Amino acid sequence: MKKTILTGLRINSEFTLGNYLGALLPMVRLANKYSSEFNVNIFVPDLHSIISPVEGDIKSNAINSIKHYLAAGLEVNENIHFYRQSRVPAHAELTWVLNCIASMGEMKRMTQYKEKSNEKDSSNVGIFDYPVLMAADILLYGATFVPVGEDQFQHIELTRNLAERFNNRFGETFVVPVSTKEQVEFMGLKEGIRIRDLSSPEKKMSKSALGENSKILLSDSPEIAVKKIMSATTDSFGEIKFDFKERPGISNLLQIASLVQDRPIEEIIEDWNKKAQYGELKKYVAKAVKNLLTDFQAKLMDYSDDYILRLFAEGENYANRIANAKLNDVYEKVSLR
Ligand code: ATP
Ligand code: MG
């Protein structure tokens, strides 16, 4: 059987540079490289979107989000399937079954849940449970490879655990995705990508972060993006060094430069190591990001809504077929059918 690569980006608000460098671009590269031998599923996790306040209209955000993959260079072909999660009811149905084998303890350990909810009783149950929905997203299609940023690795491990637990209890049903270490290797990386918040570089850049200057949006005007980079928090060591632990701000800038220009990080470090010109480095990074945004935003205009809706129509047909077959298998295994 053909292996499957699968990914999705929540559409609660505009995508950030972190989403682009950590998830979108790696997925586009993998899809272009492997879509002749693998199935490539690019889905819009619209059900995930409503766990937090949504900016704009989900229906148009969904269309827009697929344009982002195309603008990032994705070459469409018949092995690439685009679909909206809410149009494939099996996602929500499998979530229920998986909820009944997931434990409260393992769910409470999820860092993303802790960060998003502050563990407050008033936070919604969706924030607690969305990693199970994510497991369903992956397991319905037997996805082996799930390229995501480092912040999602814990959820991939949870998915593996749930799949193995189900298989042990009810018999071989799910393909277990490969470990996060192998996911990273598959992406051609040494470690997972975690772009930092520009104002508080000890945190990751998030689209739902509130601070104006903490994130670069792919929709930011290039001039605004330049200003944000010029005001990024660095450190007071007075010497550039790549060290995420001690100097996350400056290391983040070096990493952004490397990924945006597709130049090895070692080369960028060699250029800037031990120099004192923080301002010059910022200008250099700002220029690279400015060029990226200018180019990307122009490409986004190339695709019509109708074209994306046609891709969804085909993809949702395919997705319902695959997902319903797997769901039926699950229902048989737990003796509901
Ligand atoms: P939110 O704050 O709403 O959770 P987010 O920016 O974390 O938004 P998600 O939709 O949760 O975005 O994640 C989409 C993809 O982007 C995932 O694969 C995730 O790992 C990746 N990603 C998110 N933030 C970063 C980041 N700072 N660096 C690298 N990858 C990231
Ligand atoms: Mg997130």
Token pair, residue 92, equals 């929500």
Residue 210 is predicted with a pLDDT of 87
CATH fold for the domain made of 4-188+304-333:
Rossmann fold (3.40.50)
Query: Which residue numbers are catalytic?
Result: 116, 204, 207
In the chain, where the domains are located? 4-188+304-333, 212-300
Helix axes 90-99, 125-139, angle to 10 degrees: 110
Pocket test for ligand 1, best of 46, 110, 151, 252 (most atoms within 8 A of CB): 151
* Residue 320: both structure tokens together: 């319902």
What's the fold here for domain 212-300? Tyrosyl-Transfer RNA Synthetase (1.10.240)
What's the 306 CA to ligand 2 centre distance in angstroms?
Answer: 29
- DSSP 8-class letter at 71: H
For 287-333, what is each residue's pLDDT tens digit?
A: 999 999 999 999 999 999 999 999 999 999 999 999 999 999 999 99
Q: How far apart are CA 66 and CA 54, in angstroms?
A: 17
Q: Is 92 within 8 Å of 48 (Cβ atoms)? A: no
Render 161-223 in DSSP notation, one character per residue.
HHHHHHHHHH-S--PPPPPHHHHHHHTT-SS---PBPSSSTTSBP-TT---TTT--BTTS-HH
pLDDT in tens, 90-101: 999 999 999 999
Point out the ligand 1 atom lying closest to the alpha carbon of residue 196: 27
Question: What does the pLDDT read at residue 264?
Answer: 94
Ligand in closest contact with the CA of 111: 2
Please give the structure tokens belonging to residue 70. 């195309």
Mean pLDDT of 140-168: 97
d(CA 200, CA 330): 44
Q: Which of 88, 52, 46 is nearest to 65 (CA)?
A: 46
Predicted pLDDT of residue 175: 98
* Cβ contact 265:244 at 8 Å: no
Q: Name the token pair of 304.
A: 């019509």
The share of the chain scoring above pLDDT 70, in percent, equals 100
Cα(41)–Cα(4) distance, rounded to whole angstroms? 7
pLDDT score recorded for residue 64 = 96
Least confident of 105-114, 154-163, 206-215, 316-325: 206-215
Q: What is the side-by-side strand order in the sheet with 4-8?
A: 80-84, 39-44, 4-8, 143-145
pLDDT of 254 reads: 97
Give the per-residue pLDDT at 95: 98
Mean of pLDDT values over 78-103: 98
Q: Tell whether the model's pLDDT for residue 212 goes beyond 90.
A: no
Q: pLDDT class for 232, splitting at 50, 70, 90?
A: very high
Question: How many angstroms separate the Cα of 138 from the Cα of each of 160, 217, 250?
Answer: 10, 27, 35
Residue 77: pLDDT band with limits 50, 70, 90: very high
Q: Ligand 1: which residue has its CA nearest to atom 14? A: 9
Mean per-residue pLDDT over the chain, rounded: 96
Task: Over range 156-167, report the average pLDDT.
Answer: 98
| C-alpha to C-alpha distance for 80 and 129, rounded to whole angstroms | 28
Residue to mutate, 10, 27, 55, 114, ligand 1, most ligand atoms under 8 Å from C-beta: 10
Distance 176 CA to ligand 2 centre (A): 23
* Average pLDDT of span 125-134: 97
User: How far is 214 from 232, CA to CA, in rounded Å?
Assistant: 8
**Mean pLDDT value across residues 250-266:** 96
337 Cα–ligand 1 center, Å: 37
pLDDT of residue 208: 86
CA separation for the pair 207, 312 (Å, rounded) = 25
Given this model, what pLDDT does residue 279 score? 96
